């Protein structure tokens, strides 16, 4: 099934007119410099097995051979710089060209992939990609009860495969601790809560929605600082 999906995706890419946006191919040195200088999403499109053996720190894993590839890619911020890689640069090139059709504006592809990265002696980390979320699955009714039971609720819409979501965890933990008793902070996994995600028009991970007395009063797409979040919460206390 995965092989069929990948073959189909590759066929689609070659049939599409890709002239609307040129993907910039870079070597490992340039890729490393971009990681240091760009506020970017680092995207690994290999398999979970390849990823666990060694990946670039801070990368988001979305396997191009997975049938859920397109829906997950669509949850990334399209206005952010994307730094994409695979083993040799071939899968990432296909993914990058496809992403231009989805509206991503600035994509850099590691032309010879992890092989070039390794040749330069640049570091990789070993880690296992999370396979399931520990956040609850809500029905419309149970989510409504959550909102009714708390005057102010900040909902963190996230995904287990999303590196920017993970980077937000310390910020969310601090908000939860500092506003304990004043505002409820709840994490909602977008893939386990598709109805809730769609109901509140969350299209990007991470995404944040603030509810006051059960009504949506504020929302934000993408990462955000603690100070900016604190200002918003204080405004609605």
DSSP 148-207: HH-SEEEEEEE-TT-HHHHHHHHHHHHHHHHTTTT-EEEEEETTT-HHHHHHTT--SSSE
First to last CA, the chain: 50
110 close to 89: Cβ distance less than 8 angstroms: yes
Checking if the pLDDT of 63 tops 50, the result is: yes
208 close to 155: Cβ distance less than 8 angstroms: yes
40/106 Cα distance (integer angstroms): 10
**Which stretch of 2-6, 98-102, 149-153 has the lowest confidence by average pLDDT?**
2-6
Q: Which two tokens stand for residue 145?
A: 């009860």
**Domain parsing of the chain, residue ranges:** 2-119, 140-236
127 close to 55: Cβ distance less than 8 angstroms: yes
Predicted TM-score (pTM) of the model is: 0.86
Query: How many CB atoms lie under 10 A from the CB of residue 136?
Result: 14
70 CA to centre of own chain: 12
Checking if the pLDDT of 127 tops 60, the result is: yes
| pLDDT of res. 18 | 46
User: What's the mean pLDDT in 19-35?
Assistant: 87
| CATH tag, 2-119 | 3.40.250.10
Please identify every residue annotated as catalytic: 162, 165
| pLDDT of res. 10 | 56
Given the candidates 3.40.190.150, 2.60.40.10, 3.50.50.60, 3.40.30.10, the CATH classification of the domain at 140-236 is 3.40.30.10
**Which stretch of 71-80, 106-115, 126-135 has the lowest confidence by average pLDDT?**
126-135
């Amino acid at each position: 099934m995965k092989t069929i999906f990948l073959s189909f995706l590759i066929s689609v890419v070659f049939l599409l007119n890709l002239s609307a946006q040129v993907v910039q191919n870079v070597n490992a040195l340039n890729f490393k410099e971009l990681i240091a200088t760009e506020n970017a999403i680092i995207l690994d499109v290999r398999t979970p097995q390849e990823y666990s053996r060694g990946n670039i720190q801070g990368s988001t894993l979305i396997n191009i051979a997975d049938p859920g590839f397109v829906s997950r890619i669509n949850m990334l911020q399209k206005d952010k710089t994307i730094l994409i890689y695979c083993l040799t640069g071939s899968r990432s090139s296909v993914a990058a060209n496809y992403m231009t059709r989805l509206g991503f504006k600035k994509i850099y592809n590691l032309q010879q992939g992890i092989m070039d990265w390794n040749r330069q002696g640049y570091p990789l980390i070993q880690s296992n990609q999370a396979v399931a979320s520990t956040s609850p699955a809500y029905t419309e009714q149970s989510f409504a009860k959550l909102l009714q039971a708390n005057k102010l609720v900040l909902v963190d819409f996230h995904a287990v495969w999303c590196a920017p979501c993970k980077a937000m965890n310390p910020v969310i933990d601090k908000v939860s601790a500092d506003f304990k008793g004043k505002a409820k902070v709840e994490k909602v996994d977008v893939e386990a809560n598709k109805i809730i995600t769609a109901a509140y028009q969350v299209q990007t991970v991470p995404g944040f929605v603030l509810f006051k007395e059960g009504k949506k009063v504020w929302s934000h797409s993408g990462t955000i600082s603690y100070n900016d979040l604190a200002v918003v919460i204080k405004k609605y206390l």
